[in-house]
Amino acid sequence: MFHDRADIFVRGGAGGDGVVSLRREAHVPKGGPDGGDGGRGGEVVIVADASLRDLSGFRRGAHFKAERGGHGRGAGKHGATPDPLVIRVPPGTVVEEADGDARWDLVSPGQRAVVARGGGGGRGNRHFATSTRQTPRFAERGLPGQERRLELRLKLLADAGFVGLPNAGKSSLLARITRAKPKVADYPFTTVEPVLGTIDVGDRQLVLADIPGLIEGASEGAGLGHEFLAHVERCRLLVHVLDLRPLDGSDPVENHATVEAELRDHGHGLAELPRLLCLSKRDLVPDEEVEAALGDWRERTGLEVLATSAATGAGLEELAAAIARRLPLEQPDDEAGTGELPATHRVYRPGADDELTVQRTGPRAFRVTGARPERLIARHDVDNDEAMRYVEERLRALGVIRALEAAGFEPGDDVEIGGIVFELHPGAPFR
């Protein structure tokens, strides 16, 4: 079964903790603090791998968590930063955050996108030594890694796509013109997943895709084709396959208009893609009618129109040549697959870290929300008096104490920051 969608959860590794260490050596009277820093947590990276065909590998697991950074050690030794956790997807995969804040489009093999950053490592106690605090006995904890829920959507990479109504003859054409072996039968919706094949034209190799049949309302969810319209977006050329004489007695003009309307309603530039019109099953129609139909459709659409027969092979060489002629050689991208792929869409919120809110939650109880104070509390042990003295200094510098006092705070009231509640006595000595 072809899988072109998957939902996954990714989490960067937590940062390692800084360490409290005091240098103690014989004949070294001024050792002092020498606690090392924690390492940064591992990243989660998505890489386009040409050996993969679809997203079926994600059925076995949808949670990916990178390793945490190593903890610091004495003598100024830093913790290790682990290797990134690599998630491999087929080229053509679009990675999008659930809330739409970021989007990556991995087209070329080797392209990579960092989708979850690791948490920063905590600083060791040597960073907190001052003239009045010469032997600090506290260090920072590492921060948690970034978490994201991501949607993966595969859009096949094909040079040309065969589109048309069910039973228009697309699969038969693809099977005859390429080495692909799609299912061919005399009932609608025989093709239930996209099928790829290749043709060799001169020294070029082109990829063709058979897209499941479209019906009226496909762009709004009717039938099977609506699930695969996204695969057509990648094509550089569309080959509209139209049955010259449908067995159900339907009008080819109306059939052509139905498919074109669904492509137009889907949007994403499908209506602007270059076209070829292929009149299929010409072996079932007299030659004089075929010639008349070719002239009529050329005048009606202004497109290049060919008539083919998968049964006899008539017109197939002309179709392959026309496809190659309408597809210019692509210029190689020297930068494809190198370095990190930036997000094609990312929402920036300037000043988000500076936002600070104080809310009274009860008698002598307050809640502070804001990225900076929450990060500060997450890094420090509230049971360590020295650490809390430093936290108070930072809260004052961040304007938190001033905002609390403006809301009616008095020394000794409970303050909640980042889910941690503690009594705050600004200016009072810690025991």
Q: What is the pLDDT of residues 40-82, one digit of tens each?
A: 999 999 999 888 877 888 877 789 999 999 999 988 899 999 9
d(CA 153, CA 96): 8
Cβ atoms 55, 7 nearer than 8 A: no
* Distant-in-sequence, close-in-space partners of 201: CB < 8 Å, separation ≥ 6: 320, 321, 323, 324
Tokens of 344: 């094609």
Distances (CA, A) of 211 to 156, 164, 169, 309, 382: 10, 8, 11, 19, 60
Q: Which amino acid is at 289?
A: E
d(CA 250, CA 292): 19
d(CA 26, CA 246): 97
* Distant-in-sequence, close-in-space partners of 52: CB < 8 Å, separation ≥ 6: 88, 89, 90
pLDDT for res 197? 78
d(CA 387, CA 420): 15
- Domains within the chain, CATH numbers bracketed: 1-154 (2.70.210.12), 160-326 (3.40.50.300), 352-423 (3.30.300.350)
pLDDT for res 328? 79
Cβ atoms 20, 1 nearer than 8 A: no
Its pTM surpasses 0.85: no
> What does the pLDDT profile of the chain (431 residues) look like in tens digits?
567 788 999 999 999 999 999 887 777 766 789 999 999 999 999 999 888 877 888 877 789 999 999 999 988 899 999 999 999 998 888 899 987 778 898 888 889 999 999 999 999 999 999 888 888 999 999 999 999 999 998 887 778 888 888 877 888 888 888 765 544 444 344 444 677 777 888 777 788 888 776 644 444 444 444 456 777 777 889 999 998 888 788 888 998 998 888 888 877 778 888 999 999 989 888 999 999 999 999 999 999 999 999 889 899 989 989 998 888 776 444 444 456 777 776 666 666 667 889 999 999 999 999 999 999 999 999 889 899 899 999 999 999 999 999 999 998 899 999 999 988 888 765 44
The residues with which 348 forms a beta bridge, in sequence order, are none
Cβ atoms 98, 151 nearer than 8 A: yes
d(CA 211, CA 179): 16
Q: Look at residue 422 and give its three-state secondary structure.
A: strand
d(CA 12, CA 111): 19
d(CA 12, CA 45): 9
Q: How far is CA 269 from the centre of its chain?
A: 21
> Smallest Cα–Cα separation from 230: which of 294, 331, 154, 304?
154
